[in-house]
């Protein structure tokens, strides 16, 4: 799978005005660790609390009318679930989120409060994903994968475009990787 800068720029155009353009602020309290200026992109300020809402929205915007009517299914124990739930509700798309049975109650309730039907299934994400794929097949739902999708990746990549636009003098961009 290849995602180009052009793909990320297209995502940025599609997401403009639909997600918060978060600030990039100096983290003086961390600067002493690396003897350098450190800047943090505050994606925690997104309505759902993370950058995951960017990719979720960009993927949902690619659905056709029939897919929107049937709905989507996603697997997540947190941030992706909330991004899909929030934007699906905003767009009028039914969303089902499959979470492992041991997902903390606060994450389950937050996802429900954002408009998704939550199914608790399995001891971990692998079992939850198998259940989500079964639901997709039996109900005709579109799978919104948390990371293995070029539109998800392009949407998440818009964070870097904003950061580089705000701070073109950066020497190094460090990106933590979770959820894939």
Domain ranges in the chain? 5-50+150-166, 64-143
Q: Which residues, 6 or more positions from 27, have their beta carbon under 8 angstroms from its beta carbon?
A: 38, 39, 40
Q: Supply the pLDDT for residue 173.
A: 84
Angle between helices 105-113 and 79-91 (to 10 degrees): 10
CATH 1.10.8.50 fits 64-143, yes or no: no
With beta carbons less than 8 A apart as the criterion, state whether 97 and 118 touch.
Answer: yes
Q: Round the average pLDDT of the chain to a whole number and report it.
A: 93
> Which residue from 99, 92, 95, 80 is spatially nearest to 149, judged by alpha carbons?
80
Backbone phi, psi, residue 98, to 5°: -100, 125
* Confidence (pLDDT) at 174: 81
Pair of tokens at residue 64: 């056709």
- Please write the tens of the pLDDT for every residue from 110-122: 999 999 999 999 9
| Model pLDDT for residues 122-134, shown as the tens digit of each residue | 999 999 999 999 9
pLDDT tens for each residue of 78-92: 899 999 999 999 999
For range 16-37, the mean pLDDT: 85
pLDDT at residue 180 tops 50: no
Higher pLDDT, 126 or 33: 126
pLDDT tens digits, one per residue of 146-178: 999 999 999 999 999 999 999 999 888 887 766
Q: How many angstroms separate the CA atoms of 79 and 142, rounded?
A: 19
């Amino acid at each position: 799978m290849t995602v180009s800068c052009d793909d990320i720029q297209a995502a940025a155009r599609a997401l403009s005005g639909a997600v918060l353009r978060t600030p990039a602020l100096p983290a003086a309290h961390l600067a002493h660790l690396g003897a350098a200026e450190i800047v943090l992109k505050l994606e925690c300020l997104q309505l759902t609390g993370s950058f995951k809402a960017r990719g979720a929205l960009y993927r949902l915007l690619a659905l056709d009318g029939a897919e929107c009517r049937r709905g989507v299914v996603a697997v997540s124990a947190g941030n992706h679930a909330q991004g899909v739930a929030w934007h699906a509700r905003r767009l009028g798309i039914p969303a089902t989120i499959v979470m492992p049975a041991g997902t903390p109650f606060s994450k389950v309730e937050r996802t429900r409060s954002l408009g998704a039907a939550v199914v608790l299934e399995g001891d971990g994400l692998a079992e939850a994903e198998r259940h989500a794929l079964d639901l997709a097949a039996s109900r005709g739902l579109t799978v919104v994968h948390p990371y293995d999708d070029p539109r998800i990746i392009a949407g998440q990549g818009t964070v870097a475009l904003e950061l580089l636009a705000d701070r073109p003098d950066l020497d190094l961009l460090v990106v933590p990787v979770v959820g894939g």
